[in-house]
Chain A
């Protein structure tokens, strides 16, 4: 078991495609980071296999903030330690624990279920929008996404662009001890231990889309970064992972290569 890096920061996105939040110590379930993408907006105009209204159709969606009203209860399941002792899967609290507040770009604070929230999105959407809630995490492909500081630096050097890491909307931003950019690509099908308990397996490279062209602070688009990744890196940047053993993680945790 060798130490290969450090967990720099942990992020979750309470509403799919909206602004994320950095969290301290948080539980990571088989379904992903607790509280990650529990809400999503669907559109009647979208295809059934990907029904989501995203920042691709409405760039300003990234400017909407979201925060759980009871932040602490959304970080760890209430009986987590007791469940771990018996090798049980810690049950999540009831849906009420994940009550959510939305901060619109115009500065209004709304309950996520307030009709005014969806109404504020409708002028930019041609489809009928609906709010979804799931404790299964509405991720695109895999429960976790991971992106390294070294990959970010390499992309900045290659493109001459200053890139905010938040464009890449990862759950785990990591810092490799000695490896360079895109090292995470070499970890596909390898098992990693993060912190004391969490074990993950890197499953595949992360295919990028228009979402990374959107500036997280202004919603302006810069297609050049996506085109560069498509032409020079096969369209991939960062990796997806599956969770093998649940656990909690926090910034500063060591990342070990298990095999």
Chain B
């Protein structure tokens, strides 16, 4: 599956591990990962929803996402794969995130 950020791949769903359970979460076009998870009745940690606090930092284990804003993750966090659920838009259909990390 392509993970080229420039491709126009249609994203159907993504995978999210929360409390040790992996969920396939339907992707709602144009929405951030957090909103999709909440819509799917999952309860990941979050707080400010502006990219400031870091409560929703998760490790992206697969795929490509783009963050609208990031005022909190360090270069070290990014190198370790952390992204913010509240700011991330999937760019590929193979995105997996680990909310327990």
Chain A CB within 10 Å, residue with most, of B53, B72, B74: B74
B75 touches A226 (CB 8 A): no
Q: Are B77 and A235 in contact (CB under 8 A)?
A: no
Q: In whole Å, how far is B91's beta carbon from the nearest beta carbon of chain A?
A: 23
Which residues of chain A are within 8 angstroms of B100 by Cβ–Cβ distance? Answer: 224
Q: How far is the CB of B18 from chain A (nearest CB, A)?
A: 10
Chain A interface secondary structure, helix, strand, loop or mixed? mixed
Interface flag for B54 (CB, 8 Å):
yes
Are B101 and A223 touching (Cβ within 8 A)?
Answer: yes
Q: Which of B47, B99, B100 has the most CB of A within 10 A?
A: B47
A230 surroundings in chain B (CB, below 8 A):
45-47, 55-56
CA distance in complex: A235, B47 (Å): 6
Give the chain B neighbours of A47 by CB distance below 8 A. Answer: 71
CB atoms of A227 and B45 under 8 A apart: yes
Beta-carbon contact of A213 and B48 below 8 Å: no
B74 and A209 contact, CB distance less than 8 A: no
Find A213's partner among B46, B52, B54, B99 (CB 8 Å cutoff).
Answer: B54
User: How many of A's residues come within 8 Å of B, CB to CB?
Assistant: 24
CA A221 – CA B79 in complex, angstroms?
Answer: 13
Of A56-64, A82-90, A164-172, the stretch lying at the interface with chain B is A56-64
The residues of B that contact A213 with a CB separation of less than 8 Å are 54
Give Cα distance in the complex from A229 to B73, angstroms.
18
Whole-angstrom distance between the alpha carbons of A130 and B20 in the complex? 43
Q: Which of B66-83 contact A (CB under 8 A)?
A: 71-77
Report the Cα distance A208→B48, complex, angstroms.
Answer: 10
Q: Is A207 an interface residue (CB 8 A)?
A: yes
Q: List 15 A-B contacts (CB under 8 A).
A: A47-B71, A56-B73, A56-B74, A59-B74, A207-B53, A209-B54, A209-B72, A210-B57, A223-B54, A227-B44, A230-B45, A230-B47, A231-B43, A231-B45, A235-B55
Residues on B close to A: CB < 8 A? 43-48, 52-57, 71-77, 99-101
Question: Which 3 A/B pairs are nearest by Cβ-Cβ distance?
Answer: A210-B54, A227-B45, A230-B45
Beyond A59-B74, A221-B77, A231-B43, list 12 extra A-B contacts (CB 8 Å): A56-B72, A56-B74, A57-B72, A58-B74, A207-B48, A208-B55, A223-B54, A224-B100, A230-B45, A230-B47, A231-B44, A235-B53
